[in-house]
Amino acid sequence: MRLAPGGDRQVVAAISSALTNRHRLRIRYVTSSDVVSEREVDPVRLHTQDEFAYLAAWCYRADAPRTFRVDRILEAVETDVPVQAHPGEAGAEIDFAALFAGGSSPLATIRFAPRARWFAEEVPVESVRNLPDGDFEVTLRVTNPGWLRSSLVRLAPLVRSVSPAVLADDVAGTAAEALALYGAGAVGEGGRDAATSPDHH
């Protein structure tokens, strides 16, 4: 189903009403790889970038902030459930205004091994490109740098490349710090062999 760049009028109307009334939304969303999912989200704001409209929201399925391209929202239903405050990792309420500030969401391009296909299906991305060797490449908005950094560190064995370079350096630095802390903790608990034990994840 192909929608106009700004999205279906009924979808936009439901989003606008939910934003005004501060109500939760129930949406059906299709990713760039044609995977349809149903999600409940707390809408934060609508903004435009690169000629497309985006809904910034807290996604309950992901349990994290997400940005949804409005023309990929197939259906939106306003509920009567009030939006909630969502704490960050340190317990403080997330500063959504800063997180989703217009123009502060750069594009990142990540190349994955085939086993990471779920990433393109679960995370709202701008585009997915299948490569001849079986790998695939996704382009997405970096609306939550901390989440993307930790996700790429967890998926490190399946990540082939990351651009721009500043993001790749950031992820590499975080991974190195995590390995250093992990190694120190493991050695402290049970010596060198403990660091490679399958019981330590």
Contact by Cβ (8 Å): 197, 179: no
Length of the chain: 201
* Mean pLDDT of the chain, nearest integer: 76
Q: What's domain 107-195's architecture?
A: 2-Layer Sandwich (3.30)
Q: Taking residues 189-197, what's their average pLDDT?
A: 35
Q: How does residue 182 score in pLDDT terms, banded at 50, 70 and 90?
A: low
Tell me: pLDDT of 178 over 80.
no
Report the pLDDT value the prediction gives residue 128, as an integer from 0 to 100.
Answer: 87
| Coil, strand or helix at 89 | coil
In terms of Cβ atoms closer than 10 Å to its own Cβ (0-12, 13-18, 19+), residue 121 is middle
Q: How does residue 172 score in pLDDT terms, banded at 50, 70 and 90?
A: confident
User: According to the per-residue pLDDT averaged within each range, which of 32-46, 67-81, 156-170 is highest?
Assistant: 67-81
> What topology does CATH give the domain 9-99?
SH3 type barrels. (2.30.30)
**What is the distance of C-alpha 26 from the center of its chain?**
18
Q: Taking residues 31-59, what's their average pLDDT?
A: 82
The CATH 3.30.70 portion of the chain extends over 107-195
Report the pLDDT value the prediction gives residue 57, as an integer from 0 to 100.
Answer: 86
Contact by Cβ (8 Å): 95, 55: no
Tell me: pLDDT of 191 over 80.
no
**Rounded distance between C-alpha atoms, residue 78 and residue 42, angstroms:** 10
The CATH 2.30.30 portion of the chain extends over 9-99
Reported as a single tens digit per residue, the pLDDT across 112-131 is: 999 998 888 777 778 888 99
Tell me: pLDDT of 1 over 60.
no
